[in-house]
Amino acid sequence: MAEETWKDYKKNRHSKPLPLKGLRVLEVGTLILGPTGPGWAGAMGAEVIKCEIPPIGDTGRNMTPFGYFYKGFPPVFIHNNINKYWVGLDLHKPEAQKVFQELAAKSDVIEINLRPGVMEKWNVGYQQIKEINPRIIYISKTGFGQWGPYAAENRPSNDGAAQGLCGYAWMSSFPGQPPLKSSIYPCDDYGGLMGEVAVLAALHHRDRTGEGQFIELSQSENIMRVMSWVWPYQQMTGKEAMPSGNRDVSICPADTFYCADDDFVAIAAPAPEEFKGLCIAMGRPELANEPRFKDHLTRLKEENATDVIKIISDWARTKSVGEIEALAEKHGFAASHVRTVKDIMEDAHCRERGFISEIDDPILGQYRDYGFPVMMSKTPPRVKWSVRPVGFDNEYVMTHHLGRNEDQIKQLYDCGALGKWGDMPGRRPPADWDGKAGLIMSRDAEGVA
């Protein structure tokens, strides 16, 4: 049955309907926390209109690993901003505020991640938009929320700051070592994902009641939710949760081990049969019956956990990763090569399932990125097009959504309400752009760009 359900999924997903088709989202987002959620919505078929202040636009256009740009755009920015329509709208200007209000009147969701009070100053805060569109779902994503001491201090935030402030970096390190900040952006990405969960819940409420609502999301509070057992453990025991490196303190044994081929393997064997299989694989079947290792709860005691991890560590150093994986398959415990990003991008499993896929964009050309991490048999999400320069879709949005004619659009440009990209990396089109490719006015909104 499963095989039939997913037969030709990769081949057919571009011809199937999208789950959020018909939903319109306005985004005023910067960096990662703001744009990530609308990016998820766009992959699921929502019409996402990203509003940026021209000519600089989203400050995320400067954010790129080691200063690298692909076709003039940063990989970080490309990754989080698929399937959007790009409008250069300077919300400092009253005329631009009016345009935004008109778009809001025809939208379902507004997503922002500016500091508290900024949108209100621009006359497009929740209470102001609610008067225009009572059904609007309005989500504000900030570092610390709209109220509380940190919000009152108007503290800025970013992913690294949130990792530090909420204890994530502390818990991610090794015992006795300095805090370890993740080089990716868990606070931003998880916050963006949780924001979309709230948006979908609010849309469900609106379907039942007709009521819109305001959603407040705190970046730091969201990543604290990921930290699992730490908070109840602290309160219940009065003991401070301490970093444990790669060792899992709730499952034993479970850790990462250095192998004979100078590579790493992750091993876990908590269940009775799994632990017995590991002991047999190590040539130490008697360990499974030792009093200190006799069951999972006994092994979790600190002194016993330390002993068993040391035994496994010494054994793993005599075997290659491949040998340990083969023994794991034979004896029924978990063992996985700790792979690099390069390994994963070349992984046949990910390619076969279409999770790692080729994007073919008329402006950026072909590049490889992940697909939507959930597969839906009837309404599969997908990438239709990639990022665009600041204000790239101004004419399309003004004409198609607001009915502005050529003279009216020119007036918006003349007063500075509308604008386009500046001549700088991350904002302008690629050097080889022909001036036509990717223009929204020449393609259907559902077309593949």
Q: 269: domain CATH number? A: 3.30.1540.10
> Does 442 have pLDDT greater than 90?
no
Whether residue 189 sits in one domain with residue 315:
no
Closest among 55, 52, 46, 18 to 34, alpha carbons compared: 52
The answer to the question of residue 240 being in a domain is: no
Whether residue 116 sits in one domain with residue 94:
yes
User: What are the structure tokens assigned to 254, written together?
Assistant: 């479970």
57-89 residues labelled b (16+ CB within 10 A) or e (exposed): bbebbbbbeeeeebbbbbbbbbbbbbbbbbbbb
User: What are the structure tokens assigned to 314, written together?
Assistant: 């010494």
E strand segments, 178-246: 213-218
Whether residue 397 sits in one domain with residue 375:
yes
Q: What pLDDT band is residue 443 in, cutting at 50, 70 and 90?
A: very low
Whether residue 189 sits in one domain with residue 61:
yes
Q: Is residue 89 a contact partner of residue 412, using CB atoms and an 8 Å limit?
A: no
Whether residue 172 sits in one domain with residue 130:
yes
Q: Which of 307, 342, 377 corresponds to the end of one domain?
A: 342
Residue-range definition of the domain harbouring residue 287: 254-342
The answer to the question of residue 236 being in a domain is: no
Q: Is residue 74 a contact partner of residue 66, using CB atoms and an 8 Å limit?
A: no
Hey, what's the torsion of the CAs at 79, 85, 90, 91, to 10 degrees?
-90
The answer to the question of residue 151 being in a domain is: yes
The answer to the question of residue 177 being in a domain is: yes
Whether residue 213 sits in one domain with residue 274:
no
Q: Which of 315, 342, 369 corresponds to the end of one domain?
A: 342
Q: Which residues make Cβ contacts (< 8 Å) with residue 338, sequence separation at least 6?
A: 256, 263, 264, 265, 266
Q: What pLDDT band is residue 358 in, cutting at 50, 70 and 90?
A: confident
The answer to the question of residue 317 being in a domain is: yes
Q: Is residue 79 a contact partner of residue 85, using CB atoms and an 8 Å limit?
A: no
Whether residue 16 sits in one domain with residue 46:
yes
Q: Which of 342, 364, 393 corresponds to the end of one domain?
A: 342
Whether residue 396 sits in one domain with residue 282:
no
Q: What average pLDDT score do residues 156-160 get?
A: 91
**DSSP SS3 for 43:** helix
Torsional class of 245: left (φ above 0), alpha (ψ -120 to 50), beta (otherwise): left
Q: Is residue 392 a contact partner of residue 361, using CB atoms and an 8 Å limit?
A: no
Q: What average pLDDT score do residues 214-224 get?
A: 94
Closest among 178, 112, 119 to 141, alpha carbons compared: 112
Whether residue 147 sits in one domain with residue 26:
yes
The answer to the question of residue 56 being in a domain is: yes
The answer to the question of residue 234 being in a domain is: no
**DSSP SS3 for 198:** helix
Whether residue 194 sits in one domain with residue 57:
yes
Q: What average pLDDT score do residues 33-37 get?
A: 97
Percent share of the chain, pLDDT over 70:
98
Q: What is the pLDDT of residue 1?
A: 55
> Does 121 have pLDDT greater than 80?
yes
Give the DSSP H/E element, type plus range, for residue 353.
helix 348-353
Whether residue 334 sits in one domain with residue 358:
no
Q: What pLDDT band is residue 449 in, cutting at 50, 70 and 90?
A: very low
Whether residue 161 sits in one domain with residue 87:
yes
Phi, psi angles (nearest 5°) of residue 144? -135, 10
Torsional class of 175: left (φ above 0), alpha (ψ -120 to 50), beta (otherwise): beta
Q: What pLDDT band is residue 154 in, cutting at 50, 70 and 90?
A: confident
- pLDDT, one tens digit per residue, over 303-353 is 999 999 999 999 999 999 999 999 999 999 999 999 999 998 888 998 888
C-alpha distances (whole Å) from 415 to each of 101, 138, 321 are 17, 28, 64
State how many domains the chain has.
2
- Domain of 76, CATH number, reads 3.40.50.10540
The answer to the question of residue 449 being in a domain is: no
Q: What average pLDDT score do residues 372-388 get?
A: 94
Strands 109-112 and 137-142: parallel
> Does 447 have pLDDT greater than 60?
no
